[in-house]
Structures are given as structure tokens and as C-alpha cells.
Amino acid sequence: EDQVTQSPEALRLQEGESSSLNCSYTVSGLRGLFWYRQDPGKGPEFLFTLYSAGEEKEKERLKATLTKKESFLHITAPKPEDSATYLCAVQAGGNDMRFGAGTRLTVKP
């Protein structure tokens, strides 16, 4: 069965303190690995899709990378507005998307 595990569960950073979030997955026939951001009281907001090992995507202070077993979301010099829950999800043979439990990121000024 497809599995997605995210770590850490929660991460507290000082403004400007760079770090990485991890997403480990086991899936047959990966069609895409997705990163989403979720703010309190809102639905998940799409950030990136990665399709194959070695691929990287960037958006502002965020950079997502993919290997055959895991993905990292690197956050460079984070700001308080980056505080949110970051969700990883995988899509395999079917069209359903399996989500990890998320990493709750808090960035203190």
C-alpha cells in the first residue's frame, strides 16, 4: 500500500534560520509527488509537482527536491509569513492522492 511519512511533525525556526522538511514515500509507479501549504481554516494550496528523481523546483524561499525514496522541502531564510502546515502527497497508478500527516512550521520574528 502507498505510504507517505513526513518529518518532523512540528518545526520552530527563527526568522532567517534555514531548514528542510522531509517526505518519505513508498509507492509503485509514482506519477507525481506534490507539496502543498495549508493555512489555518483554509484548504491546502498547491506549491510544486515533482515527477522524477533528480528534479528540483523553486518558488521564492522554497525549493523542493526528489529522490527515489524521499522529497525535501528546503526553506531558505524563512519569514513569519511562511508559518503554515506543509503537506506532501503522492499520486500513483490511480488518480487518488495520498497525503502525509504534514509538518507544522512556525517561524518566529
Partner 1 sequence: DTAVSQTPKYLVTQMGNDKSIKCEQNLGHDTMYWYKQDSKKFLKIMFSYNNKELIINETVPNRFSPKSPDKAHLNLHINSLELGDSAVYFCASSRAPGTGGSPLHFGNGTRLTVT
Does 94 sit near partner 1 (CB under 8 A)?
Answer: yes
Judged by CB under 8 A, the stretch of 11-19, 59-67, 69-77, 88-96 that binds partner 1 is 88-96
Does 34 sit near partner 1 (CB under 8 A)?
Answer: yes
β-partners of residue 92 are none
- Other C-beta atoms within 10 Å of 42: how many? 9
Residues binding partner 1: what is the number (CB under 8 A)?
A: 25
The CB-based long-range contact list for 42-49 (8 Å cut-off, 24+ gap) reads 44/87, 47/86
Buried b (16+ CB within 10 A) or exposed e, 3-28: ebebeeeebebeeeeeeebebebebe
Q: Which residues within the stretch 68-87 sit at the binding site for partner 1 (CB under 8 A)? A: 85, 87
Does 91 sit near partner 1 (CB under 8 A)?
Answer: yes
Taking CB under 8 A as the criterion, the residue among 37, 102, 105, 107 binding partner 1 is: 102
Give residues in contact with partner 1 (CB under 8 A): 31-32, 34, 38, 41-46, 49, 51, 85, 87, 89, 91, 94-99, 101-102, 104
